[in-house]
Copies of this chain bind each other. A is one copy, B any other.
Amino acid sequence: MSGGPVAIVGVGLMGGSLGLALSDGPREVVGVDPDPEAVRVALAVGAIDRAAGSLEEAAGRADAVVLAAPVPALASLARRALAASGDDCVVTDLGSAKSALLGALDARERERFIGGHPVCGAERTGVAFARSDLFRGATWFLTPGAEARPDLFERLHGLVGSVGAHAVAIDARVHDRLMALVSHLPHVLAGALVNQAAATAPGGREALRSSGPSFADLTRVAGSNPPMWADILVANREAVLEALRAYAGRLAEVEAALEHADRGWLLGFAEEAAAARGRLTDLGAAGPARPARVVVAVPNRPGVISEIATALGHAHINIEDLRLRPGPPDGLGELELTVDGREAAEAVRLVGERGYRAREA
């Protein structure tokens, strides 16, 4: 990674935490925010080294610009950051919905803009609640388009790794459908449940006051940041609608089973859920990784690293580290990937399937 500043546009909880996480590193962190109080606190807690007066000023000399702003503002901010920054600067964001944003940019803009989404958060918002370890161990999705420049993807991958997160390349539409299912739909479900309980008082007894710890668990996510969630739901509405309609169909099946007092069906439903839930628990209990290196011969053209990284990301093969050694302009360079040794053979196979020569090193 080069040594120019990192510009953070929006120093709230996420932007501020990123600044804190980068503050031990060698690179200057420049921050900008429309709220002067946020800038003051960010400087005071050491989340940024320097405040810029505008996005353009912050982006001017930066090697990387990170847009940590509300989702509806991202497309316009991305365009401004690309226009204001040099040809060697990568621009990324932290938004929870990716397809619409990438679609709002043109092919040229997607050479230097690579979408990002760290999967983490906190119950409180604002830079005062920023923590340097917010991203530690988190999955940080990257959604490089086919036009993404290999060197800039490499730099962004390194930036994500430097704050302790796991960079996982993923197709933007796949990302949005996944998040709709495992995050956005759950927020909708929790919200509808807590609203229904709040509105119901059978026999004069408030339902909400009769709820126990499992109801509290189930609805915990319903309490956070309404404006942000309204933005996310609108930005990812197509994928959320798809997930919601499929879900409504599942509830209709439960309804039919209840109408017919069909215990056998309900038992199958609960057993299927228990099995899936068990798999989820098992997945969280993976053993320690033994790192291995996979070396791939790659032509010097945009989209190649994105393609390889995304193929591995979709196969849940984690790229711990990624280094690019460019070759001659019309020859082959080397892409060196560090992965879990148990997955190295599968990584070689997947990359080979896409027509690239790969070997375990």
* Residues on A facing B (Cβ under 8 Å): 119-120, 139, 170-171, 173-174, 177-178, 181-183, 185-198, 200, 202-212, 214-224, 226-227, 229-231, 233-234, 237, 240-241, 243-248, 250-252, 254-255, 258-259, 261, 263, 266-267, 269-281, 283-284, 313-316
Nearest CB on B from A330, distance (A)? 32
Residues of B within 8 A of A230 (CB): 263, 266-267, 270
A68 to B21, CA, bound (A): 53
| With A230-B263, A245-B255, A246-B196: A218-B189 Cβ-Cβ less than 8 Å | yes
Please determine whether B212 and A278 come into contact, CB atoms closer than 8 angstroms: no
- Per DSSP, chain A at the interface is helix
CB distance from A140 to the nearest CB of B (A): 12
Cross-chain contact of A216 among B193, B226, B233, B280 (Cβ < 8 A): B280
What CA separation (Å) do A159 and B91 show in the bound complex? Answer: 66
Which of A202, A229, A258 has the most chain B CB atoms closer than 10 A to its own CB? A202
Whether A277 contacts B218 by the Cβ 8 Å rule is no
Tally of this chain's copies:
2
Q: How far is it, in angstroms, between the C-alpha of A17 and the C-alpha of B220 when the chains are bound? A: 29
- Interface contacts beyond A185-B193, A240-B258, A247-B251: sample of 19 additional A-B pairs, CB < 8 Å, sorted by A: A181-B207, A182-B212, A183-B212, A183-B214, A191-B273, A194-B273, A194-B277, A195-B250, A195-B272, A196-B250, A205-B314, A206-B316, A208-B280, A219-B273, A222-B277, A223-B277, A223-B281, A233-B258, A245-B255
- In the complex, residue of chain B having the shortest beta-carbon distance to the beta carbon of A231: B263
Return chain B residues, CB-CB under 8 Å to A274. 222-224, 226
- The 19 listed contacts between A and B (C-beta, < 8 Å) are A139-B212, A170-B205, A182-B210, A186-B193, A186-B218, A189-B189, A191-B273, A192-B250, A194-B276, A194-B277, A197-B276, A217-B221, A220-B277, A222-B270, A226-B270, A241-B259, A244-B254, A248-B251, A248-B252
Chain B residues contacting A252 (CB-CB under 8 Å) are 248
A178 & B202 in contact (Cβ 8 Å cutoff): yes
* Residue from B209, B271, B273 within 8 A of A316 (CB atoms): B209
Roughly how many angstroms separate A212 CA and B237 CA in the complex, as a whole number? 20
